[in-house]
Chain A
Amino acid sequence: MNETEARDVVTTALSDVAPEIDLETLDPQMSLRNGADLDSMDFLAYVAAVSETVGRDIPEDDYDRMDTVAGAVAYLLEG
């Protein structure tokens, strides 16, 4: 998976879970839970969607790494 693909996975999951987020203007360093207003249920749905798309578990201990778009992309690239 390259960076573009990883970013695509993350943004697709986000736009399904929270269609009100404007991905064009979303700061990739912004906290999704605190800044973009994803509640715990939205966040779980987003993590689940990413995990299912890439076919790999994302343990709860790694949730903090999923909290920004940039962090999530880096996390997936480590895969």
Chain B
Amino acid sequence: MGVFAMPSLGADMDEGTLIEWLVKPGDHVRKGQVVAVIDTAKSAIDVEVFESGTVAELLVEPGTLVPVGTPLARIEGEDAESGLPPEPARPLPPLTPPIRHLLHQYGLAPEEVHGTGDGGRITRKDVLAAAGESSAGGARTVTHHAPTLQPRPVPASRPRITPRARRLARERGVDVATLASGDAVVTAAVVEAIPAKPAKKDRTAAMRKVTAALMGRAAREIPHYYVAQTVDLTDTLDWLKQTNAARKPRERILPAALFLRAAVLAAQAVPELNGHWDEQFQSADGVDLGVAVATRAGGLVTPRIVGAQDLDLSALMSHLTDLVKRAKAGRLRGTELQPGSITVSSLADGGPDALFGVIYPPQVALVGIGAVAQRPWVLAGELAVRSTVTVTLAADHRATDGRTGARFLAAMGEALTQPEEL
């Protein structure tokens, strides 16, 4: 028996509004399936389950604002179907303060985490694993029953609604369930007839507040240091042009993907900068690459590309395209809003020469990409005009020293000048 709880979608979220259920009791859900849409200060987010099972009961009605960790639905795991008795409750293992803090950050109870350390002690990895799963209702990791809530009436079936109307309703914060009238299909016109809530305006302010809180924390807690390095990209851009000439427009690779790929390689080469700070540095297993994206509403989100180390240049480009498109439209998935292990930020093309960023806690490094432009450059003892870019690194001085940052930039520079190795 599992609980699908209100996930913490990033360190800055305390509560969220369930906008819509995409499943109903009795539905079978597969791992990775989007089951609900949740509204946070930043955007509407598609939330996935990470375990397969059957939806037993929906506990929260659409439109309800609840704190992180509140059970939203009961999901019967596949274990239950096989008739196995539920696992007995374990005695609670002792918790260290960093772990307690981490649990709190992710809105998890100790009972929800399967400890793999000595004597069942909960380790940092266990919490992160459970956070990943419970961000969408990990049925297997939860070994106790959720507090029993009074079940609320749930519509027997979802109202029939056109996709355009559904999108519109979501944009306007209209509860779809209230629109159904008998068997009539809800069309966009029906949704448009409903006066828009002033919620749109509030989102900009709310987003500003979230960014303010997170960046304020970063400035208070993180002693930043900065290093910068300029790289001659001329040959790499020629290589990219040749590569793209053979591709259809939609399959072409933008320099942005080169920078991400180079950052992934550098993060692997210098793992001291790839991970989280929680009283001490914990390196991440893979590279979950955060990407700073400006939304159409004028805010900033930094969704992550999970497992970016496994993506080659083309795959990274298509992931980036998809992520940016959804981020701009305010449609991200829950797992994408968990903290990445390192973040890359660049301002629009033709922007400033260099970007000195603020680190996203609990990460320890942020890579800034300046504008690519033709600039004077010394090549083989002569002054030449070359396409260059200045790459910067903001890093947490608690975790590393400038020398480590310099190694990171050297690794990035090397990757950026050997594109065939990307």
Contact = CB atoms under 8 A, between A and B. Distances in A.
Interface string B317-328: 000110011000
A20 B320 CA distance: 21
A41 B321 contact: yes
Nearest to A59: B245
Nearest to A18: B296
Contacts of B350: 33-34
Q: Among A37, A44, A58, A59, find the residue whose CB has the most chain B CB atoms closer than 10 A.
A: A44
Contact of A47 (B249, B320, B324, B349): B249
A52 B250 contact: yes
Given A40-B255, A41-B324, A60-B241, A48 B349 contact: no
A47 B255 CA distance: 16
A33 B241 CA distance: 19
Contacts of A37: 348
Please report whether the interface of chain B is mostly helix, strand, loop or mixed according to DSSP: helix
Interface string A28-41: 00000110010111
Given A45-B325, A60-B245, 15 more contacts: A19-B296, A33-B349, A37-B348, A39-B348, A40-B254, A41-B254, A41-B321, A44-B254, A45-B250, A45-B321, A48-B249, A48-B250, A52-B250, A59-B245, A60-B241
A30 to B, nearest CB: 15
Interface of A: 19-20, 33-34, 37, 39-41, 44-45, 47-48, 51-52, 57-60
A60 B256 contact: no
Interface of B: 241, 244-245, 248-250, 252, 254-256, 296, 320-321, 324-325, 348-350
B249 A40 contact: no
A60 B250 contact: no
Contact of A41 (B244, B245, B249, B256): B256
A23 to B, nearest CB: 16
B296 A20 contact: yes
Nearest to B297: A20
A44 B320 CA distance: 13
B249 A51 contact: yes
Contacts of B244: 60
B347 to A, nearest CB: 9
Contacts of A57: 248-249
13 contacts: A20-B296, A33-B349, A33-B350, A39-B348, A40-B254, A41-B254, A41-B321, A44-B254, A45-B250, A45-B325, A57-B248, A59-B245, A60-B241
Nearest to A41: B324
A62 B229 CA distance: 32
A18 to B, nearest CB: 8
A33 B349 CA distance: 9
B135 to A, nearest CB: 27
B272 to A, nearest CB: 31
A41 B248 CA distance: 15
A60 B251 CA distance: 12
Contacts of A60: 241, 244-245, 252
Contacts of B320: 41
Query: Which 3 residue pairs spanning A and B have beta carbons closest together?
Result: A48-B249, A48-B250, A51-B249
Contacts of A40: 254-256, 349
Contacts of A41: 254, 256, 320-321, 324
Contacts of A45: 250, 321, 325
Contacts of B254: 40-41, 44
A33 B348 CA distance: 10
B202 to A, nearest CB: 19
B252 A44 contact: yes
A60 to B, nearest CB: 6
Nearest to A63: B249
Contacts of B348: 37, 39
Given A39-B349, A40-B254, A40-B255, A48 B248 contact: yes
A52 to B, nearest CB: 7
A4 B252 CA distance: 29
A65 B325 CA distance: 24
Nearest to A52: B250
B164 to A, nearest CB: 13
